[in-house]
Structure 1
Amino acid sequence: MRIDFGEHAETIDRAVEAIVETERAGFDGALVAETRFDPFLLLTAAAGRTSRVELMTSVAIAFARNPMTVAMQANDLHELCGGRFVLGLGTQVEAHITRRFGMPWADPASRLREFVLAVRAIWRSWETGERLDFAGEHYTHNLMTPMFAPGPNPYGNPKIYLAAVGPTMTEVAGEVAEGLVTSPATTERYLREVTMPALERGRARAGATMAGFGISCALVSAVGSSPAELDAAITSARQRVAFFGSTATYRPVFRLHGWADLHETLYELSVLGRWDEMTALIDDEVLHTFAVVGTPDEVADQLTTRYGDIADRVGLTSTDPIDPARWTHTLASLRAGQAL
Structure 2
Amino acid sequence: MRFGYSLGYWRQGPPAGALEAVREAERLGFDSVWTSEAYGSDALTPLAWWGAQTERLKLGTAIMQMSARAATATAMAAITMDHLSGGRFILGLGASGPQVVEGWYGQPYPKPLARTREYVDIVRQVLAREAPVTSEGPFYPLPYSGADGSGLGKPLVSTVHPLRRDLPIYLAAEGPKNVALSAEIADGWLPFLFSPQQSAEAEAQLAAGFALRSGERSPASAFEVAVTVPVELNDDVEKAADAVRPTIALYVGGMGAKGANFHRDVVARMGYEAECDTIQELFLAGRKAEAVAAVPTRLVEEIALIGPAAKIRDELARWEESVVTTILVQGDIRTVRGVAELLG
- Same fold, TM exceeding 0.5? yes
Q: Distance in 2 between matches of 1:71 and 1:207?
A: 21
Change (3 A) 1:300 1:79: farther
Equivalent position of 1:189 in the other structure: 197
What is the aligned residue count?
Answer: 321
Does structure 1 residue 29 correspond to structure 2 residue 32? yes
Equivalent position of 1:96 in the other structure: 100
Q: Quick one: percent identity of the two aligned structures?
A: 23
| Larger CA deviation: 166-175 vs 282-291 | 282-291
Contact 1:241 1:282 in 2 (8 A): yes
What is the SS of the residue equivalent to 1:6?
A: strand
Change (3 A) 1:201 1:191: same
Contact 2:279 2:295 in 1 (8 A): no
Equivalent residue in structure 2 for 1:160, among 152, 158, 169: 169
Q: Give unpaired runs (5+ residues) of structure 1.
A: none
Contact 2:7 2:18 in 1 (8 A): no
Q: Distance in 1 between matches of 2:14 and 2:75?
A: 24
Equivalent position of 1:271 in the other structure: 284
What is the SS of the residue equivalent to 1:141?
A: coil
Change (3 A) 1:245 1:313: same
Equivalent residue in structure 2 for 1:236, among 218, 233, 243: 243
Equivalent position of 2:233 in the other structure: 223
Equivalent position of 2:150 in the other structure: none
> Offset of 1:218 from its aligned partner?
2.0
Alignment of 1:17-56 (within 5 A): 17=19, 18-35=21-38, 36-56=40-60
What is the SS of the residue equivalent to 2:170?
A: strand
**Counterpart residue type for residue 308 of structure 2:** T
**Counterpart residue type for residue 103 of structure 2:** R
What is the SS of the residue equivalent to 2:271?
A: coil
State the TM-score, normalizing by the size of structure 2: 0.85
Q: Distance in 2 between matches of 1:245 and 1:150?
A: 42
What is the SS of the residue equivalent to 2:171?
A: strand
Please state which structure has a larger fraction of its residues in helix. 1
> Offset of 1:149 from its aligned partner?
1.3
Q: Give unpaired runs (5+ residues) of structure 2.
A: 144-153, 256-260
**Counterpart residue type for residue 333 of structure 2:** I
Equivalent residue in structure 1 for 2:252, among 242, 245, 256: 245
Contact 2:199 2:322 in 1 (8 A): no
What is the SS of the residue equivalent to 1:267?
A: helix
Deviations 1:109-160 (A, max 9, x none): 11111111110011112xx4x23233232122344557x5112x23444200
Contact 1:216 1:314 in 2 (8 A): yes
Deviations 1:77-124 (A, max 9, x none): 011111111111111111110011212222001111111111001111
Equivalent position of 2:258 in the other structure: none
Does structure 1 residue 322 correspond to structure 2 residue 330? no
Q: Distance in 2 between matches of 1:13 and 1:94?
A: 27
What is the SS of the residue equivalent to 1:316?
A: strand
Deviations 1:187-208 (A, max 9, x none): 2223322x22111101101157
Equivalent residue in structure 1 for 2:116, among 112, 116, 120: 112
Change (3 A) 1:84 1:232: farther
Does structure 1 residue 175 correspond to structure 2 residue 184? yes
